[in-house]
Structures are given as C-alpha cells and as structure tokens.
C-alpha cells in the first residue's frame, strides 16, 4: 500500500485520481481548497469505504501546504505526490490581465513547486518516492485564447525535466502526465471565465465551444494512467493521453 498525496481532489481528474488510488488499496491524502465543498468525494468515500483523508489545501498558501505535509507525516511514509490542482481562464493574450495571469501561474506552477519543496526532504530521506506532475498536451500546442494556461503548464513541464535529473541519484522518480481535453468540471470553468475581446469579436467564445465539442472519451482513463504509472517500476517519465 502506497501513501499518496493528491492536490485539487474536489472535482475532475483530481477526484477521480484520489478515488482510483483508494480503490487500488492505497491510502490517499486528498487536498481540497474547501473540504466542505468536496461533497462528491465525501460521498464516494462513504459509499465505497475508500481509505482517503480529505484535508484542506490551498497550493497558493505556504502555511496551508505546510499543514498538509504535516498531516502526511502522520502516515508511515510519503510515497507518491500528484500535483493536479489547477485553474484556467479564456482570453486573448493581449487581454490576459496581470491579476488573472498571476493567479494561474501561482496555482499551476508555483503551487506544484511549493509542494515539491515541502515534500522533497522526506522523499530524499527515504531514498525513494514518486512525483507526478499533471501538465497538458495544450502546453505544447498553445491553443488560441488559452495562452496563459498553456504557458503555466509548459513551465511545469520544463521544471519537471530539470527535477527528474536532480533526483535520479536519490531514487526519486518524476512523471509528467499530459492529458488532452477531457470533459471534466473545468469545462464549465472555461465557459465562466471567457473574456470577450473587441479585437477578436466572438472568437474566444467560439474557441470554448469548439474545445468542448472536441473534448471526449472517458476521463477515467487519465486517473487510471496516473495510478498505473505510480504502480509501475520504474515508472514512465512522460505519459501523453489523447482523447482518442
């Protein structure tokens, strides 16, 4: 049984990943920004008796991360860290204001970096462990009107490559998971964050509509791939998960 940390576990890929690890017999510490809002995850835990602790975690807050890791230290080890928490918005690059851009970078890049910094002393002391960073196929494609999101994921990808080289001597593995556009709770978030631009009339909205039409396949495939990677020795360095 592995001890697994999963961030952004209240919905979408994070929720499915936490549940999949639990069903595989692993113990999960599921980080959610607001535990009172993790109703779907709580329901699955109760219905299936899954070994999951739901713990408050704001990846943009160092104090919150320290408390999260402190909870993890109460377990026998920290074996797998899944950096999944993320946010996004839809806007042309020229309309990507500093405030929303900073929020995306803070969550999608600095958030994983903070958790990596907090957990690495324990993984290094164990001389083993596995860090799984969820990026996106869009990090390389650079889809129109999702430039800031793609940039944040590209930064995490580059960080992960460097990190893997640094951690090899300590027996700690890094895996980059690159999902395509799957239907998850983030779809509605994309719709809610569309910022119309007078310079690109109707194009941002059209992009979101096209994205949602193209998104498909069973998002459980992503969660299953993450769990399989965690249980494979040695694990793969990079996993790309297209919708078809």
* pLDDT tens-place string over residues 191-213: 566 666 777 777 777 766 666 65
Q: Which of 8-12, 30-34, 86-90, 155-159 has the lowest mean pLDDT?
A: 86-90
What is the pLDDT at residue 203? Answer: 76
What is the pLDDT at residue 37? Answer: 87
With 70 as the cut, is the pLDDT of residue 28 above it? yes
Class of the domain covering 3-88+95-183+218-241: alpha beta
With 80 as the cut, is the pLDDT of residue 162 above it? yes
Model confidence pTM above 0.85: yes
Is the bond preceding residue 132 a cis peptide, omega within 30 degrees? no
Active-site hit among 110, 122, 149, 200: 149
Distances 145 to 148, 153, 196, 209 between C-alpha atoms, Å: 8, 15, 10, 12
- Give me the residue spans of the domains in the chain: 3-88+95-183+218-241
- The mean pLDDT of 51-59, rounded to a whole number, is 98
- Rounded mean pLDDT of the chain? 91
What is the pLDDT at residue 184? Answer: 61
* Each residue's pLDDT tens digit, 183-196: 666 555 555 666 66
- Our answer to whether residue 149 is catalytic in this structure is yes
Give the number of other CB atoms < 10 A from CB of residue 115. Answer: 24
Query: Between 123 and 242, where is the model more confident?
Result: 123
Please, what's the b/e burial string for 167-194 (b: 16 or more CB within 10 A of its CB; e: otherwise)?
A: beeeebbbbbbbbbbbebebbebbeebb
Beta-bridge mates of residue 175:
132
What is the pLDDT at residue 216? Answer: 57
Cα gap 138→210, rounded to integer Å = 14
């Amino acid at each position: 049984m592995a001890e697994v940390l999963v961030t952004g576990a209240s919905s979408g890929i994070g929720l499915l990943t936490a549940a999949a690890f639990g069903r595989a017999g692993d113990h999960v510490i599921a980080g959610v920004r607001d535990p009172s809002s993790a109703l779907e995850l709580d329901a699955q835990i109760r219905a299936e008796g899954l070994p999951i602790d739901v713990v408050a975690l704001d990846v943009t807050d160092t104090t919150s991360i320290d408390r999260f890791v402190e909870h993890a230290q109460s377990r026998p080890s920290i074996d797998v860290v899944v950096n999944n928490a993320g946010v996004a918005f839809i806007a042309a690059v020229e309309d990507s204001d500093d405030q929303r851009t900073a929020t995306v970078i803070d969550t999608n890049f600095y958030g994983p970096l903070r958790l990596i910094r907090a957990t690495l002393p324990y993984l290094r002391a164990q001389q083993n462990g596995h860090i799984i960073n969820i990026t996106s196929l869009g990090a390389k494609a650079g889809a129109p009107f999702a430039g800031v999101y793609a940039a944040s994921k590209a930064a995490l990808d580059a960080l992960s490559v460097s990190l893997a080289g640094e951690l090899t001597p300590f027996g700690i593995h890094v895996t980059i998971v690159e999902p395509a556009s799957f239907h998850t709770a983030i779809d509605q978030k994309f719709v809610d964050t569309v910022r119309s631009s007078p310079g690109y009339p109707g194009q941002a909205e059209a992009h979101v509509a096209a994205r949602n039409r193209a998104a498909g396949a069973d998002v459980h495939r992503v969660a299953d791939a993450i769990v399989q990677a965690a249980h494979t020795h040695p694990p793969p360095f990079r996993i790309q998960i297209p919708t078809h």
